[in-house]
Amino acid sequence: MDHNSFVNSLTFKNVNESDVERAFQLELEGFPPEEAFTIERYRYIQSVAPDLFLGAYSSDSSSTSFSKLLLIGTIMSTLADAPKFTKESMSSHNPFGKTVCIHTVCVDKQYRGRGIALCMLKEYIKRLKNETQNKDADGKYERVALICHEYLIPLYQKAGFTSMGESEIIYGRLFICFFIFIVAMLNCNSYL
Ligand SMILES: CC(C)(COP(=O)(O)OP(=O)(O)OC[C@H]1O[C@@H](n2cnc3c(N)ncnc32)[C@H](O)[C@@H]1OP(=O)(O)O)[C@@H](O)C(=O)NCCC(=O)NCCS
């Protein structure tokens, strides 16, 4: 199957409790131990913000049994009330917050380089926009923010994010990188 057909065959749905361990495996595979979240953190975020925990599932027969979908990519976030992406906003979840703080974008090593992260990000943003445009939601989300290593800025730009410059904060997982950038979208005006 070519990359496009494979990506188009993916199923996107929120990660439920039973898939948290698998999501955590991807985290351990994607980040060195000193940068990775703990399983407790994963369980906590899934329990408080399940709608913001998106999974990409493959039914690729070479990697899983006939009927079972395999989780091969995740995006995990919490909400913050401050427009700024701070260390505090990274460590707590405010259910009334309007800033979606993306903590993790992760793809199974075996499936990287096929456009899955980009497709997941677009799907994620589409879902957030749909919820925000829903009349009953009262402008649910105002912005989406994340910090990333400089070399990954093109990934997020391709998904529609804008680079807002170097981050003031040094967050655990990015502690060792030279530059930390904030990217944000939807409404960047009040961001910096
Ligand atoms: C970063 C990561 C999510 C990318 O997943 P992926 O599915 O391989 O990415 P995609 O195939 O969708 O890449 C789309 C674009 O992003 C950019 N990109 C992706 N990975 C990149 C990398 N390692 N270095 C530089 N650019 C990269 C490229 O511009 C790419 O476009 P191209 O293939 O036309 O060159 C994946 O490598 C991963 O899980 N890494 C470990 C965890 C991590 O670092 N997450 C990001 C920080 S939270």
**pLDDT (tens digit per residue) in 75-105:** 999 998 876 666 676 678 999 988 888 889 9
What residues flank ligand 1, with Cβ below 6 Å? Answer: 30-31, 104-107, 112-118, 148, 151-152, 154-155, 158
Q: What's the CA-to-centroid distance between 114 and ligand 1, angstroms? A: 9
**pLDDT tens per residue, range 40-79:** 999 999 999 999 999 999 985 655 555 589 999 999 999 9
Per the structure block, which two tokens stand in for 7?
Answer: 């990506």
Nearest atom within ligand 1 for CA of residue 148: 47
pLDDT at 180 over 70: no
Q: Would you say 102 and 146 are in contact if contact means Cβ atoms under 8 Å apart? A: yes
Residue 106: φ, ψ to 5°: -140, 135
Q: What's the CA-to-centroid distance between 112 and ligand 1, angstroms? A: 7
Protein residue with its CA nearest to atom 10 in ligand 1: 115
Protein residue with its CA nearest to atom 15 in ligand 1: 155
Q: How far is CA 144 from CA 4, 7, 11, 63, 71, in A?
A: 26, 23, 23, 32, 23
Using pLDDT thresholds of 50, 70 and 90, give the confidence band for residue 162. Answer: confident
The percentage of the chain sitting over the pLDDT mark of 70, rounded to a whole number, equals 76
Using pLDDT thresholds of 50, 70 and 90, give the confidence band for residue 167. Answer: confident
Q: Would you say 152 and 112 are in contact if contact means Cβ atoms under 8 Å apart? A: no
CB atoms within 10 A of CB 103: 23
Distance CA 111, CA 137 (A): 35
Average pLDDT on 138-158 reads 83
Q: What's the CA-to-centroid distance between 153 and ligand 1, angstroms? A: 10
Higher pLDDT, 177 or 151: 151
Using pLDDT thresholds of 50, 70 and 90, give the confidence band for residue 169. Answer: low
Protein residue with its CA nearest to atom 23 in ligand 1: 152
Q: pTM for the whole thing? A: 0.89
Q: What's the CA-to-centroid distance between 134 and ligand 1, angstroms? A: 31
Q: What pLDDT does residue 31 have?
A: 86
Q: What pLDDT does residue 60 have?
A: 58
Q: What pLDDT does residue 105 have?
A: 94
Q: What's the CA-to-centroid distance between 82 and ligand 1, angstroms? A: 28
Q: What pLDDT does residue 135 have?
A: 64
CATH architecture observed for domain 3-143: 3-Layer(aba) Sandwich (3.40)
Q: What pLDDT does residue 99 have?
A: 84
Nearest atom within ligand 1 for CA of residue 155: 16
Average pLDDT on 97-122 reads 94
